Amino acid sequence: MMNCRRATRLMSESKERPLSATERMALRVHTMMCSACRRFDGQLDFLSQAAQRYKSKPNPDDEPKA
């Protein structure tokens, strides 16, 4: 049964494996009706983006070497 917990689980899983046609359809129907899960989708992408950038961020508390 498609609820928000399941929807977010599918959105998360889609980053590791392709979703089946049935899953994609069910997810699409849910996100059409649920604005919170729509937002979650975009924010999930932001997490990946931030993680990529984080790798090259220096420690904010580092003093520059003399």
Partner 1 sequence: MDLSTEPKSLLLDKDYLNDLRRQMFRFALLQISDTAAAEDAVQEALAGALKNAESFTASAAFKTWVFAILKHKITDHFRRQKHLTSEAVDIDTPSDLDDPFKAIGLWSAGKRPGVWPNPDQALEDKHFWRVFDSCLEHLPGQQARVFMMREFIGLSADEICESLSLSVSNLHVLLHRARLRLRGCLEEHWFKVNRP
Q: State the number of binding residues for partner 1 (CB under 8 A).
A: 37
CB of 47 to partner 1, least distance (A): 6
Decide: is 55 part of the binding site for partner 1 (CB under 8 A).
yes
Q: How far apart are CA 5 and CA 46, in angstroms?
A: 19
Q: Hey, what's the torsion of the CAs at 30, 35, 37, 38, to 10 degrees?
A: 90
Q: Is residue 2 within 8 Å of residue 26, measured between CB atoms? A: yes
Looking at the Cβ atoms of 21 and 51, the one nearer to partner 1 is 51
Decide: is 56 part of the binding site for partner 1 (CB under 8 A).
yes
Decide: is 63 part of the binding site for partner 1 (CB under 8 A).
no
